[in-house]
Chains A and B, each alone.
Chain A
Amino acid sequence: DQQVKQNSPSLSVQEGRISILNCDYTNSMFDYFLWYKKYPAEGPTFLISISSIKDKNEDGRFTVFLNKSAKHLSLHIVPSQPGDSAVYFCAATTYAGGGNKLTFGTGTQLKVEL
């Protein structure tokens, strides 16, 4: 049972344009969501997170939007840069004092073209 889904395995965007990566979840107990970027031969790197009490969180070029009623979140990268080319994972957890496991989506390969 895939509780966190990223339905687009790949996305190609031109440099300078917006990249939108989507993620859906099924478990209504999830209340904290994270996005990670992963380059080959490296571990995932934390990008941005959002609590279920918010619907938007912004950090520089990265913005995460959460639609709880639709159980959907998205990561916007503006403007996209060639260095953003990587695999992006969304993850979800139930934050009850910390120490809870992350459930990951299957990832979206983003390619930013010149």
Chain B
Amino acid sequence: SAVISQKPSRDICQRGTSLTIQCQVDSQVTMMFWYRQQPGQSLTLIATANQGSEATYESGFVIDKFPISRPNLTFSTLTVSNMSPEDSSIYLCSVEWWDYGYTFGSGTRLTVV
């Protein structure tokens, strides 16, 4: 299956600042997905990122808050902008790898203070 490197693994940020999370895949993939897991909650899809096109955001998530880049078939970034304590979550990237299900990165644990 694909191997995903995600960084940073964790960060503590001041409110009002922004954090960019990077996701590197060891294989070329068409779609990459960004999820959020709030404390005690399920994983919720933020957006789907295709290379060469604008990301598609799910209901409740907007590009100004969560801008995404997808410059090539192995890399993507998610930025959490103008952070508030409510953004404290685990953020995960994922790629589709059907023989093995969707594969996830190890996640970024974000705490906003």
Number of A-B contacts (CB under 8 A): 57
* Nearest neighbor of B44 in chain A, beta-carbon distance: A104
Contacts of B96 in A (CB 8 A): 98-99
Contacts of A99 in B (CB 8 A): 30-31, 48, 96
Give the interface size class of chain A: 20 to 34
Q: Which of A13-21, A43-51, A65-73 contacts B (4 or more CB under 8 A)?
A: A43-51
Q: Which of B61-69, B80-88, B97-105 contacts A (4 or more CB under 8 A)?
A: B97-105
B32 to chain A, nearest CB (A): 11
Contacts of A98 in B (CB 8 A): 96, 98
Contacts of A43 in B (CB 8 A): 4, 6, 92, 94, 104-107
- Bound complex: CA A106 to CA B41 (Å): 6
Pairwise interchain contact B103-A104, C-beta atoms closer than 8 A: no
Pairwise interchain contact B106-A42, C-beta atoms closer than 8 A: yes
Query: What are 28 A-B pairs at a CB distance below 8 A?
Result: A4-B42, A34-B101, A36-B101, A36-B104, A41-B106, A41-B107, A42-B106, A43-B4, A43-B6, A43-B92, A43-B104, A43-B106, A43-B107, A44-B43, A44-B92, A46-B101, A49-B101, A91-B102, A98-B96, A98-B98, A99-B31, A99-B48, A102-B43, A102-B45, A103-B45, A104-B43, A106-B42, A107-B42
